[in-house]
Amino acid sequence: MEVRRATVDDIDVMAHVLATVAEEGTLGTEPPVDLEVRGQRFRELIEGQGPSAMWVLEDGGRVLGNASVSETRTSGVLTLGMAILAEARGRGGGRRLLEAILEHARSQGAHKVELEAWTDNARAIALYVSTGFEVEGLRRNHYRRRDGSLRSTLLMAVLLDTSEPEPA
Ligand SMILES: CC(C)(COP(=O)(O)OP(=O)(O)OC[C@H]1O[C@@H](n2cnc3c(N)ncnc32)[C@H](O)[C@@H]1OP(=O)(O)O)[C@@H](O)C(=O)NCCC(=O)NCCS
């Protein structure tokens, strides 16, 4: 398996990967995924200016997963999302995507990479912690899902610039 930057030629297959993974409920995105809208969003991430970027995880030319970062709310803070098809998990692909993201974030001068994960997403949380992410907060019963349930997330982040620690 290898990780490379995504191109516009990957947009359709990446949208299908996201739609497949969304069916599990592990992502914030709920099914059914609008492939056209999602594809447009991916295009903006790939072609846009600034630190936004996308990567694909592929094996033998087949795209098995993708990851993205974008500067959503705060300058210098990149928000990440990632999804790998169930059949391709547990083989280090998630770790490789994260390494590519962190290398990119550093090269862009970002000071933090952040994400949100469902509190019961043990696999993802374990991977993030092992890569240096820390829990910054809990959003308790924050998200109402289409089935009416309320779900909680962990706010997680990794600091890339620790040169100016907060005053005690
Ligand atoms: C999260 C995700 C991207 C990780 O990808 P992956 O290919 O499984 O990740 P890796 O194989 O690189 O690493 C997984 C790590 O979690 C560990 N792990 C696997 N299953 C686990 C479980 N049930 N509980 C805790 N840890 C687990 C593995 O041991 C591995 O750690 P290691 O490298 O030290 O052995 C992938 O599982 C996925 O796409 N899940 C569905 C979508 C999702 O949850 N996206 C993230 C939303 S925040």
52-104 tens-digit pLDDT: 999 999 999 999 999 999 998 899 999 999 999 999 999 999 999 999 999 99
pLDDT, tens digit, 9 for 90 and up, residues 139-152: 999 999 999 999 99
Ligand 1 contact via 91 beta carbon (within 6 Å):
yes
pLDDT, tens digit, 9 for 90 and up, residues 26-57: 999 999 999 999 999 999 999 988 999 999 99
Q: How far is the CA of 89 from the centre of ligand 1 (A)?
A: 7
Q: If you average pLDDT over every residue of the chain, what do you get?
A: 96
Does residue 167 lie within any of the structural domains?
no
Percent of the chain with pLDDT over 70: 98
| pLDDT in the model for residue 117 | 98
CATH of the domain at 75: 3.40.630.30
Q: How many domains does the chain have?
A: 1
Q: How far is CA 15 from CA 32, 93, 94, in A?
A: 11, 18, 18
Q: Which atom of ligand 1 is nearest to the CA of 115?
A: 48
Does residue 20 lie within any of the structural domains?
yes
Q: How far is the CA of 92 from the centre of ligand 1 (A)?
A: 8
| pLDDT in the model for residue 157 | 98
Which are the contacts of 82, defined by CB distance < 8 A and separation ≥ 6? 65, 66, 67, 68, 94, 97, 98
Per-residue confidence band for 166, with pLDDT thresholds at 50, 70 and 90: low
Q: How far is the CA of 100 from the centre of ligand 1 (A)?
A: 16
Does residue 115 lie within any of the structural domains?
yes
Structural domain for 146, as ranges: 2-159
